[in-house]
Structure formats: C-alpha cells, structure tokens
Structure 1
C-alpha cells in the first residue's frame, strides 16, 4: 500500500474492493478474508481494516454476519450506492477532521485550534463546571470524540436496552436533536430524484427537508394502529422507494402507536423489498419502554433509530442521537464531521450529569404525570365538543381531533389566529397538502384552555 493517512488507506481499500465486486471478481455471497488475513493482504492495521469493512457495509457492498464474518452482499435494488465523486472528495477531508477530534498524534502542528490549556482558565471555564460526587470538575475545551460524549452514549445504550434495542456505545451518534439526525441520514442515504415514503399524516418539517434535498416524497396512510400496510405495499410497488420514514410510538400528529402485529408485518414487507426504515422515537423517554418499536424487533439491521432529549428537557437544549449498525454509524459520523465538525460537549455533559444524578428520572416521572392529567382533561373537552379522537393516546403530547367532512381546517386556523389562538390544521401534516382528513393536532398541554374550547364550540356550531 502507498504511504498516507489512515483515512486515505481506508479509501483505497474500499475503492479496490468495490471495483472487484463490480467486475464480478467478488461474486454475491463470497466470504471476505478475515480481519487478520486482510490486514496482511493490504498491509494496514486492524482498525483500518475494520473501518474499511464497516464502510463497505454502510455502502451496501458487504453484509456483516455475526460470528461468521463479512460477505459480499447480493445486489439489491436499495443497496446504498458508492458515493458520487463530489461525496468521495468530501469524505477524503474527513481523515483530517477525525484526527483533530480524536487526537491520536502527540505532535499537533496540523491542528486547527489552540491547546485546551490556553482556554481552560477563561471566564467561560469558570462558569461551565459540572457538579460531581467529588465536587466540581472543569469541562475540557477541545472538540471531543466525533461520536459525542462517551459517558452519555453509554447511558443512552442502557436506556435503549430497556426498550429492547441492544447497541454498543460506538453505534450511538450524538446530534443537535432529531432534526439534525434526520438531516445527516438524508444526506447519507439519498440522492436527488430518489423516492421515499413518509407517514401521512406525518411530521411536516421532515417533508421540507426531503424536498430541499430534491427527493420525491410519497405518503403512506396512517391508521390508529400504525401505517396502513396495504397502502405501504401499494406505494412500494408504484414508486420503488429507497426508505420509509416513520414514527412508531406516540406518532406526531395523531398520538397513536404501532401495534405489534403491524410492526412485525411492516418489517417483513421491508425485508422483501430491501427497504430502509428510519424510525423517529421523539417521545421515547415519556412513554412506556415496552411499547413496540421497529428497532427492537429488527435490532438495527435495516432500521435507523433516532431519539432526543429536547422534547423532555428543553426545546433549547439540542441534544439527540442516532442509533444504527456500526457501518451506518461510521458513515453518519463522517457526515457529521463534514457538516458541523462536532456536537456540543457542554450540553452532552449536562444531560449526562442529569441522568447520572437521578434528576432526569425524577423529572420524567413528573412529566409523565402531567401528560396523563392533561390528556384526560383534553379528551373530556373534545368529547363534550363532539370531536372524535383518531387514535388512542399512548403518552406523547399530541392527539388528533377529527372534523366533519367539508370543514376547511386551514380557514379555521386563520379565524382562530385572528382571536389570538394558534391551531395546527390537519392539512399541513399531509405531504401533498390535500385536505384528505380535516382535523387538527391538539397539544394536550393546552387542551383545557377555555378560550380554545369556546372558539371550537362556536366554530363547529357555525362553520
């Protein structure tokens, strides 16, 4: 092998194996050399070879079989293609970024920042100190691990285990909330012109992100117990999508959660059609850990899972995470370094301390009690107004109130705004913006406001 950085050696190995697969020299199903044999063949370290194999898995070239090794993946319609030239050029830069974050070299003349000792005594350092059982300790001022703060990733791993999702800390990538995670996944998985499926109704900011990436967005009808599987199969047959973005638990905007039989069947359909699943579990910490989750049933083979602390702690505290297979996690980490370098170590340490001290657990107990009380009051008010609820609530912040056919929910929202009332009309939650199901998303925290109840009463009586 030529001399060069670990990153460039890895890229050369990936390119060489990819060419061999394309030329048919490595047919589908062929077992790749063991790590020991491959390190000797390519003249690199074990860590370099592990990274090369993992990235080939993320690219859809290889598949990892636990206890058996790596195999050439059978050509599938949705195997993640090799990155285009502009992406390859960008990834080449990652090796420099990775070294600045992980600091494996003792001589740092190529670094892009001053040593931490130059800033550790700053006024910022005196304000940002974390409480521990042994008093206070300063926060380091370097970039930190590109995956994010290690202790928090380990804590998230334990939390995921309670939900039945078993990961190593290296499979957990910390982000600036779920929207940042979605952005990384979209950049990694999709190219302009690709088609994806989304819940309909579903999370409308996701629709905007996908359209910004020039991706075709197709809705899958949402039922009270999860996606409509007949519609899912129909849209797959029509559009050959690359991925399905969905919320299984405490769905936004309907509040419903997927039933276990639906989850099993959905994964069977995904496997048959080589469909990637992106599961957004935004209310994970507020709802029962035992609710069905696609990531728990799939164990991150084709599911990419997202979570956040922003919905349970503070909207201004942008800390979230992506859990995925090791190969996908590595690829998303590279994308994170290219786009934002790293997430906030300050915020991640703060969340970690809240978890370690038990304060987060106590906070969640109070939050769940508040959600339960507010949901009960909101359901009573909607019932008195004669507004049926689409799905049984399962612990999130939202319910979906159905309106009579023909009622214009956009016009209703405009009239409410004139009276100082903010309504989320159902139409905006459909990717085609059609009034397929007139209604409104109700945040249960505000469902007992007399001004809202009076407005809805008058509006329904005289639409």
Structure 2
C-alpha cells in the first residue's frame, strides 16, 4: 500500500506501481488508466497526487493523454523499454514481450509464476502450490541415477532424438490405461506440454493458416498461435464438447487444418467431452481433412474412463499431448506427444531443429517414478487434497455472491463475479492478489464478469474477504 512514511513520495510510489504493471504487461498496451478522481479514491490520495504521478508516466513515455478521454498505456515498442540507470541489473523476466497482435496479458500469468505479487495465495495462477507437489520419491529417483555410471552415460552425450527409450516405454504403457494406443516409437518427448503443442503447430501449419481453438480457452495458446501468424477460429466450448455447428461452418468457409482441444477437465471451465460429441468431432475431421491436437495436461486429475478423442480415433487424425509440470515437477520440463506414424518424421525434424534432444537424465528418473507406481500414488494424494480444497472454495465463493458457470471440477472454477473482472483485477493487484479475468480466455478479449480461480489457492478465507470489499 502507499505509505507516507516511505522514503519515496506518494507520487513516486503511485507512478512506480503503474510503471511496473505496464512493463510486466499487467496493464496491456491500449489499456485505459483509472480516471484521476477514481484513482484518487482507490488509492486514498489527493487528485493532485494522481495528476503528478500520471505526469511522471507521460515523461517516461509509458502512457499518453487523449483529450477528453483520459490516460492510456502507449502501444509502441519504444514505450515498452524500461527506463533504468546506467549499470543497473536488468531482470529480463520482468521485461515486456515485443509488441504484436498477441493478447498482451497472456504473459502476465506466466510472469506471475516467477514474480509473485506477494506471499499470499494467488487464485489466478494455473499451478498447484509447491508444497502440494513435494515428495521423497523424486529425489530418490535422481540419487539412483547420479550414484551410478548412468550419470556419465546420460550427461556426456546427446540423448535419443525421440527421447529416452525407458521413458517412452513407460509412457506407452501408461497410455494403455486410458485406451490410447501408442507404441514407444510413436512417442516424442518434449520440454513440457507447451513445447509439444508448438512442435505440432510448426510442423503442420504455416503463417496465415486457420486453426480452430476452443473458447473460452487457454490464454497462452491463443497468444502462441497468434505469434506464429495463425488465424484463430474460436469455437464455443459447451458442457459436452465444442459447438459442432460452429465447427461445421468454419470447415465449409475456411478449410481449417487443425483443431486444438482440451477434452478432459477443460481449462477454464472444467468441462469434459461426451462420447456422442467426440464421435461427431471425429466425423467432421474425417470429412473435412483436418487434424486434432488433444491437450490432456490435466490427465493426472481425471478419471481414466473419461472420453478422449485419441482413444476413439486410435491416433489416426489425432495427436495426443500431455506433460508432468502440473502434477509433479515443473522444473524438470518433461512433456510428450503421441502421433500417427505418418506424422512422426516431420514432428521429429521440428524437435531436432529447435532443441536437438531433450535431457535424458530427468526423463530416465521420471520413467522410474512411473514404473514404481510412485507417480500414480502421488496423483491420488493430490486428487484427494484437491477435492477438499474445491469444496471449501465453492462455499466461500457462493457466500461472497459469486456463481459458478459450470459444475466445479478439476483444478479450476469458472466463476461469475457480477462485475467487470478486468477492472477488478487491477484493484486486487493493489491488495497483493493476481486474478485471471474472463477476457483473458477469449481470443479478442471482450469485457467479462467471469474469472478463473484455482481451487488449490482460492480456499483462503482472507482472499474472499478482500475480494468482497474490493468488488463492492
């Protein structure tokens, strides 16, 4: 909070707060700053202090004044360069990305993982708290490898292009449990699930190609595809699956080459695909000759019997993508894809051109965790803990006037707050909380009263008390 006992004046503190949000893209290019009167009321300062702070932002080239309209974040590459003293240490993670057509705030959720707003639980984050993922078996798996000749063998040479053979065998057996038929040589390991999605996009698409993506959907996926120059065709996501009528119209009008889907525990709604909807999606794919990427990032939290397109299709037009950052070890950066044999050559070439190979040491350690049943037991424990957190969060959200747009399931809740969540997000930042506003999950970022909450981090009663006060 702004304080009069600080070594900085109130004006300097307020200007610094807005400057930091602009540089880390919590305030996107083109965003309107609060009016002088509104900002003064929110911050508990005089209008004169706000005017002086906005003047400082103008002098730094971070905002522009528009006559009769207010102050706006400048939308230019020059405006996004950080003003710093000579010799200052630059934290590149806090620097903004280059200006483009990408929804600018998509990166703020990622940056929030590295630069926490405070030590408070962050309901807008997309990951489990670190203490939820602590285990003894992961260090054990690494000690087993580092105490043997395997450390030398795996460290002093490049790994196999497809990925560690032991891990691919383990993954092949694991996929059998969800009825996805993938031989070890149909699996390519990657540096996380997002890398797997990127490999597929770069292999199958070219700039300007139309891609169908579920909406609401993962903000990072919208940003990633737009940065590659793809044309996003948003498909409304329903409780039983994508809007098939909209998909059919896109197919007739645009001949898309790819459909990106989260069938199970969809982010942010928590919806899961029905068998009937899955069957009709595959019919469309066969009729109009497009591939489907099924992102199963939350497979560890879902029941094994959940409907998956890859299981019904048998990896003919489908490509399966998943990873372990959400459930096990974010910094191990292990993901994978399973694909039809005819696509493997192109996908592998894209991987080799980008990363050569992937770290075999961590992949071999993960294979041991899977083979010993440690990962399965670990996921079981987290699911039980998440069930309790979800129940507590739902009660708190309902008691503070929110409603759930979809049945609470998995890690995320899709909540209607009744107010503009873009504006609410900025006010909650002042209290030390990072939210995920509903506009972030749409390709063109329309205003929204919805927000996505993380059940693991939104069970804090203090957050909801602050939320109720700030929302008004």
**TM-score, normalized by length of structure 2?**
0.67
Aligned to 2:230: 215
Aligned to 1:403: 417
How many angstroms apart in 2 are the aligned matches of 1:309 and 1:243?
24
Structure 1 residue 330 displacement after superposition? 2.3
Aligned to 1:285: 300
Structure 1 residue 186 displacement after superposition? 1.0
Structure 1 residue 269 displacement after superposition? 1.7
Aligned to 2:345: 330
How many angstroms apart in 2 are the aligned matches of 1:150 and 1:255?
34
| Aligned partners of 1:130 and 1:350 also within 8 Å | no
Q: Tell me, what secondary structure is at the counterpart of 1:227?
A: coil
Aligned to 1:131: 144
Structure 2 segments unaligned to the other structure (5+ residues): 1-139
How many angstroms apart in 2 are the aligned matches of 1:402 and 1:206?
23
Aligned to 1:106: none
Aligned to 1:8: none
How many angstroms apart in 1 are the aligned matches of 2:149 and 2:392?
45
Q: Tell me, what secondary structure is at the counterpart of 2:182?
A: coil
Structure 1 residue 316 displacement after superposition? 1.4
CA 1:422/1:320 → structure 2, altered by over 3 Å: closer, same or farther? Answer: same
How many angstroms apart in 2 are the aligned matches of 1:243 and 1:129?
38
Q: Tell me, what secondary structure is at the counterpart of 1:458?
A: helix
Match of 1:242 among 257, 272, 293: 257
RMSD (Å), alpha carbons: 1.8
CA 1:388/1:225 → structure 2, altered by over 3 Å: closer, same or farther? Answer: farther
1:166-181 correspondence to structure 2 within 5 Å: 166-181=181-196
Structure 1 residue 130 displacement after superposition? 4.7
CA 1:365/1:192 → structure 2, altered by over 3 Å: closer, same or farther? Answer: same
Structure 1 segments unaligned to the other structure (5+ residues): 1-126
How many angstroms apart in 2 are the aligned matches of 1:459 and 1:419?
9
How many angstroms apart in 1 are the aligned matches of 2:189 and 2:378?
21
Structure 1 residue 424 displacement after superposition? 0.4
Q: Tell me, what secondary structure is at the counterpart of 1:432?
A: coil
How many angstroms apart in 2 are the aligned matches of 1:389 and 1:314?
30
265-274 or 316-325, which moves further after superposition?
A: 265-274
Aligned to 1:453: 464
How many angstroms apart in 1 are the aligned matches of 2:168 and 2:337?
10
Aligned to 2:436: 424
How many angstroms apart in 2 are the aligned matches of 1:235 and 1:338?
32
Structure 1 residue 195 displacement after superposition? 0.7
Structure 1 residue 382 displacement after superposition? 1.9
Q: Tell me, what secondary structure is at the counterpart of 1:381?
A: helix
How many angstroms apart in 1 are the aligned matches of 2:400 and 2:364?
46
| Aligned partners of 1:224 and 1:392 also within 8 Å | no
How many angstroms apart in 1 are the aligned matches of 2:167 and 2:441?
33
Does the alignment pair 1:388 with 2:388? no
Deviation by residue 1:66-112 (Cα, 9 ceiling, x = unmatched): xxxxxxxxxxxxxxxxxxxxxxxxxxxxxxxxxxxxxxxxxxxxxxx
Aligned to 1:69: none
Structure 1 residue 353 displacement after superposition? 1.6
| Aligned partners of 2:180 and 2:310 also within 8 Å | yes
Aligned to 1:195: 210
Deviation by residue 1:382-436 (Cα, 9 ceiling, x = unmatched): 2222322222244x311110233xx31100100110110110001011011113x
Q: Tell me, what secondary structure is at the counterpart of 2:424?
A: helix
Match of 1:184 among 191, 194, 199: 199
Q: Tell me, what secondary structure is at the counterpart of 1:223?
A: coil
How many angstroms apart in 1 are the aligned matches of 2:144 and 2:367?
11
| Aligned partners of 2:396 and 2:461 also within 8 Å | no
1:12-161 correspondence to structure 2 within 5 Å: 130-131=143-144, 136-139=148-151, 140=153, 141-161=156-176
How many angstroms apart in 2 are the aligned matches of 1:446 and 1:152?
32
Structure 1 residue 235 displacement after superposition? 2.7
Q: Tell me, what secondary structure is at the counterpart of 2:397?
A: helix
Aligned to 1:439: 450
Match of 2:377 among 362, 367, 372: 362
Aligned length: 329
Q: Tell me, what secondary structure is at the counterpart of 1:316?
A: helix
How many angstroms apart in 1 are the aligned matches of 2:276 and 2:351?
35
Does the alignment pair 1:414 with 2:414? no
Q: Tell me, what secondary structure is at the counterpart of 1:278?
A: strand
Aligned to 2:321: 306
Deviation by residue 1:200-229 (Cα, 9 ceiling, x = unmatched): 110111111111111111211111222122
